[in-house]
Amino acid sequence: MSDGFTLSLPADARYRGLASEIARKYAEYAGGTEADATALSAAVAGAVDQAAGEAGEGDIRVEFRADPSGVDVTLHWADGSSALHHPLPARNP
């Protein structure tokens, strides 16, 4: 799996959907099923909405990393952070 990446976006509601859309594609890229992509997208959407409530006018930094066990997403904002892990099915070589 290639290196992860970081997305920085305003807490404004107009931009929050970007994180969940990217989470969907990243889950697929990491080998997840459509169901995995949908589940990760929904989890990230909820986490970003919660972070936005605490971030106020600030930005939210969303870090995506994948390894053989799944996708890790960590959110950071001015005074806090949260993390989630979505397992992916084992791939056959």
- State the CB neighbour count (10 A cutoff) for residue 66: 21
Which residue has 């169901």 as its token pair?
Answer: 35
Locate 76 and state its tokens: 């950071």
Query: Given a cut of 60, is residue 92 above it in pLDDT?
Result: no
Predicted TM-score (pTM) above 0.85: yes
Summarised one tens digit per residue, pLDDT across range 18-61 is 999 999 999 999 999 999 999 999 999 999 999 998 888 889 99
Q: Which helix (H) or strand (E) holds 45?
A: helix 34-55
pLDDT of residue 54: 84
The dihedral sign for the CA sequence 23, 89, 4, 77: positive
Average pLDDT, the chain: 91
